[in-house]
Amino acid sequence: MTVATIFALASAPGRGGVAVFRLSGPASADTLHSLTGKRLQPRLATRVRVRHGGEDIDDGLALYFPAPHSFTGEEVVELHLHGGRAVAAALSQSLLELGLRPAEAGEFSRRAFLNDKLDLTRAEAIADLVDAETAAQRRQALQQLDGGLAALVEGWRQDLIRALALTEAIIDFSDEGIGDDLADDVLRQVRALMADMRAKTREGQRRERLRDGIHIAILGAPNAGKSSLMNRIAGREVAIVSAKAGTTRDVIETHLDLHGWPVVLADTAGLREAAEDIEAEGIARALARAESADLKMLVFDASLLPERDAQTRSMIDEASIVVFNKADVANPVDSDAGIMVSARTGLGLDALLARLESEVANRFAVSAEPALTRARHRAAVEECLAALSRFDPAKPVELAAEDLRQAAQAIGRITGRVDVEELLDVVFAEFCIGK
Ligand SMILES: Nc1nc2c(ncn2[C@@H]2O[C@H](COP(=O)(O)OP(=O)(O)OP(=O)(O)O)[C@@H](O)[C@H]2O)c(=O)[nH]1
Ligand SMILES: [K+]
Ligand SMILES: [Mg+2]
């Protein structure tokens, strides 16, 4: 089967200073030759005139990466042209006429994986790095790209393969009377491995949040000023504000970069005994959001008597911060009890943001330890743990060995060491074209 040579605009589409086209596959170098009349030195940027069908397309730079020393492991050519729509259109048309095919989303990374240039965790890290919107997301993705997660997972898999070898040896040694000692050894090792995996799964849930955004929910009685505060923090009119109690019904989200932390801030319906159905549904959604949030911002109207708001007070816990709003019209409240702010004037907003940031930093600081960062990783570890919890060296050896084999299979799926094909579509589906 011949491999298609593919191409894509690797830089963002539209107008720009430079547009980078990437070609990968066996015909890359010949295609470059037909477009420029040149055969290039490897990895050396060369000025080229790009022409096709008697027409000049552009003047730019070209780079040639011979296989296997390229991103995809195939022959790769990069063309750096002027970032204009007409240039991109003309080059794409020429490449099509020369028999190249437009790349599918993630196809370059997929080829890199198939050519052993990347494991799946590194491929995912590239996607994360391109999608990273905050410093914390960038750091986490880079850590994964450096291979921390791949090494952790591969270590687990090696341990499982060792345990499997020992289990199979139990048969051989059963006559010599050391079979029982071996069985104890294996069981101890498997239990230690399970404890490590469980710890990493817990840590992984924090890391997934870092990829997807840390959820902060704004909660409080109607008219406490939740929506006003949300708008003030977001710096724009995200939610409707009015003097009418019960204005907000749906959960309204906005994404923030809180000094490098990705945050999904959610405004919610005011909490009270609801008057009617729609508001009651809004309150149910608010309570559900309170339940799932990483952090709750409990807003009280400081111009009233906050201690009367029993429902919001009952939500005060480890994962909440208390905010007294309407400081512009209220007497100062004891500062230990919460943060005084005014959504109307912006008073106290800096203190509130600083507090949010420190709470988030305390909970989500990324350690140097590699971690699971996606639901896909967690699902594989959970499947592995399920197989390991069935494992018992007292079972017939073939059955015990099968549990370990399944466990190793499940864990291998994280880097793509087994059962590869079915996984690829899942992993590469979320890539954009040109990666
Ligand atoms: N003086 C003063 N009024 C405020 C402040 N924040 C909000 N308000 C007013 O309080 C009223 C309610 O504000 P909202 O932001 O709609 O309150 P909410 O908590 O979202 O209300 P619901 O969505 O109904 O639960 C509006 O009239 C706001 O203008 C503040 O800091 N100072
Ligand atoms: K309101
Ligand atoms: Mg509101």
CATH assignment at residue 48: 3.30.1360.120
Residue ending a domain, among 103, 132, 151, is 103
User: Domain check: are 387 and 350 in the same one?
Assistant: no
In-domain check, residue 93 = yes
Confidence class for position 429, pLDDT limits 50, 70, 90? low
Q: Can you give the pLDDT at residue 78?
A: 98
Provide the CATH number for the domain around residue 169. Answer: 1.20.120.430
In-domain check, residue 341 = yes
Q: Range of 94's domain?
A: 6-103
Contacts of 1 (CB under 8 A, 6+ apart): none
User: Domain check: are 55 and 128 in the same one?
Assistant: no
In contact, 290 and 266? CB cutoff 8 Å? no
In-domain check, residue 1 = no
Nearest-CA residue for ligand 1 atom 32 is 326
User: By C-alpha distance, which of 257, 294, 10, 253 is closest to 133?
Assistant: 257
User: Domain check: are 133 and 235 in the same one?
Assistant: no
Q: Can you give the pLDDT at residue 336?
A: 78
Instruction: Report whether residue 246 contacts ligand 1, using a CB cutoff of 6 Å.
Output: yes
Tally of domains within the chain = 3
Q: What's the 250 CA to ligand 3 centre distance in angstroms? A: 9
Residue ending a domain, among 362, 385, 408, is 362
Confidence class for position 180, pLDDT limits 50, 70, 90? confident
Position with higher pLDDT, 269 vs 432: 269
In-domain check, residue 215 = no
Confidence class for position 162, pLDDT limits 50, 70, 90? confident
Q: Can you give the pLDDT at residue 242?
A: 97
pLDDT tens across 103-156, in order? 999 999 999 999 999 999 999 999 999 999 998 899 999 999 999 999 999 899
User: Domain check: are 86 and 128 in the same one?
Assistant: no
Confidence class for position 420, pLDDT limits 50, 70, 90? very low
Q: Can you give the pLDDT at residue 366?
A: 74
pLDDT tens across 273-331, in order? 877 899 999 999 999 999 999 999 999 999 998 788 999 999 999 999 999 999 999 88
Instruction: Report whether residue 226 contacts ligand 1, using a CB cutoff of 6 Å.
Output: yes
Mutate which of 226, 227, 228, 271 for ligand 1 pocket (most atoms within 8 A of beta carbon): 228
What is the DSSP-derived secondary structure letter of residue 308? Answer: G
User: Domain check: are 48 and 142 in the same one?
Assistant: no
CA pair distance 81, 87, nearest whole angstrom: 8
In-domain check, residue 114 = no
CA pair distance 308, 304, nearest whole angstrom: 8
Provide the CATH number for the domain around residue 261. Answer: 3.40.50.300
In-domain check, residue 112 = no
User: Domain check: are 98 and 160 in the same one?
Assistant: no
> For residue 368, with 0-12 CB atoms within 10 Å meaning exposed, 13-18 middle and 19 or more buried, which class applies?
exposed
Average pLDDT of the residues in 379-384: 96
ipTM here: 0.99
